[in-house]
Amino acid sequence: PLELGAALGFGGVLAAVLLGVHYLRLWLGVEGVYAAAALSGLTDVDALTISVSRLVGRDLAAFHGAVAIFIAVSVNSVVKGAISFFAGSRALGLRVLPVYLLTIVAGGAMLALGAPAQP
């Protein structure tokens, strides 16, 4: 961001998400990462994506990182769809709904196809 206020705001959100993911993971394991992803997806996915990407580089399996990002993107898509209906119009909501649904279905299918074999 070119504006200092926006940059500081994003930095604050990123720090909060990093801490949230860290402590939820300590408390609940990978399910905590998924919970943080769902909560983060209510507003934005960038900070969560950065946080999870850093965890995958250290001690989170890539598959679990992908699932967490998918959860955040899915929740964020549902929120954007709802905003389209309620802040926009029914016509707008119906126009964007298939795009969001297709994104969620395609992402889920790709995760299912790339899922590691379970013992």
User: Which two structure tokens, joined as six digits, stand for 50?
Assistant: 């950065």
The label of the residue with tokens 């992908």 reads 66
The Cα–Cα gap between 48 and 73 comes to: 10
Instruction: State the sign of the Cα–Cα–Cα–Cα dihedral 105, 82, 20, 15.
Output: positive
Q: What is the DSSP letter of 13?
A: H
Amino acid of residue 71: I
> 3-state DSSP: the chain helix, strand, coil percent, rounded to 5?
85, 0, 15
DSSP 71-112: HHHHHHHHHHHHHIIIII-HHHHHHHHHHHHHHHHHHHHHHH
How confident is the model at residue 116, as a pLDDT? 67
Query: How far is 55 from 22, CA to CA, in rounded Å?
Result: 9
* pLDDT digit string, tens, across residues 25-34: 778 788 989 9
Indicate the pLDDT class of residue 119, thresholds 50, 70 and 90: very low
pLDDT digits (tens, 9 = 90+) for 76-97: 999 999 989 999 999 999 999 9
Residue range 88-110: average pLDDT? 94
